[in-house]
Amino acid sequence: MNRILVCDDDKEIVEAIEIYLQQEGYEVVKAYDGAQALEILGKQPVDLLIIDVMMPKLDGIRATLKIREDSSIPIIILSAKSEDSDKILGLNIGADDYLTKPFNPLELVARVKSQIRRYTKLGNAAESSRSVYQTGGLMINDDLKEVTVDDEPVKLTPIEYNILLLLMKNQGKVFSISQIYESIWNADAIGADNTVAVHIRHIREKIEINPKEPRYIKVVWGIGYKIDKA
C-alpha cells in the first residue's frame, strides 16, 4: 500500500483529497504547512507528495526545493495560481506535475496513479528495442502494435495508432496536418480538412488524463502537432 502525504492549509480540501485517495486504496498522511510536511517526510517513508503553494510558515515552492535536496519522490503541486509562469516555476524547481485549483478530483487521482506507477516501475521498464518508443509514461511497441500509458494498455484505431507512431518516432518534430495526412493516407493533402485534427483529439482523449491540458501530444497552434522528447 502506497503512502501519500497531502499538504494544504485548507483542512477541508485535505480531507476531500483523503477520501478520494483512500477509496483508491492509498494510505494518506496529512500536513497543513510546509514545515509539517518536511517533519513527516523526515520521520516516515512516503511514496508521493501533494503540496499546495500558498501556505503559512513554509510555502510549497520552498518546501519542494528543500525536499529535492535529498529525495526524488514524486511531487504534485496543487495551486490556485494558474499562470503559465507559475506552472513553469513549479516544474522547474523539481515538481513532477502541476494541477491548478479548482481541480477535478478524479483527474487528481489519475495523476497520482500515473506518478506512482512511473516511480515504482521506472527501473525495469528499460526494454530498449528498436521498435519500442517511449516518452514519459507513454510507450508504443511497434512489434506488438501495442500502446501503454503508465503500463495500462490503450486501445487505438489503426489510423490513430499510425499517427501516434509517426509522432513518437520523430519526437520533438512538429508535423502539420497535411504532412500527417500525406504520410498516413499516402495521398495528396489537397482535400485536407478536420479529419487529422479530429483523430488527434481522439488519441488525446485516450492517452491523456486531461485532454485539455495534454502531457504528450502537444498542439502547436497554426503550425501542427508534436510529441516532446522525454
Chain residues binding another protein by CB under 8 A are 10, 12-13, 16-17, 19-20, 23, 54, 80-82, 101-106, 176-177, 190, 192-201, 219-224
Beta carbon of residue 80, minimum distance to another protein (angstroms, whole number): 4
> In terms of CB distance, is 66 or 101 closer to another protein?
101
Measured from the CB of residue 99, what is the shortest distance to another protein in angstroms? 10
Distance CA 95, CA 68 (A): 9
CB closer to another protein, 122 vs 198: 198
CB of residue 96 to another protein, shortest distance in Å: 21
Complex with another protein: residue 48 or 177, whichever CB lies closer: 177
Per residue, the 3-state secondary structure of 59-97, as one string, reads: CHHHHHHHHHCCCCCCEEEEECCCCHHHHHHHHHCCCCE
Q: What is the closest distance, in whole angstroms, from the C-beta atom of residue 221 to another protein in the complex?
A: 4
d(CA 158, CA 6): 41
Which C-beta is closer to another protein: that of 20 or that of 185?
A: 20
In the chain, % helix, strand, coil (3-state, to 5) comes to 40, 20, 40
DSSP 174: -
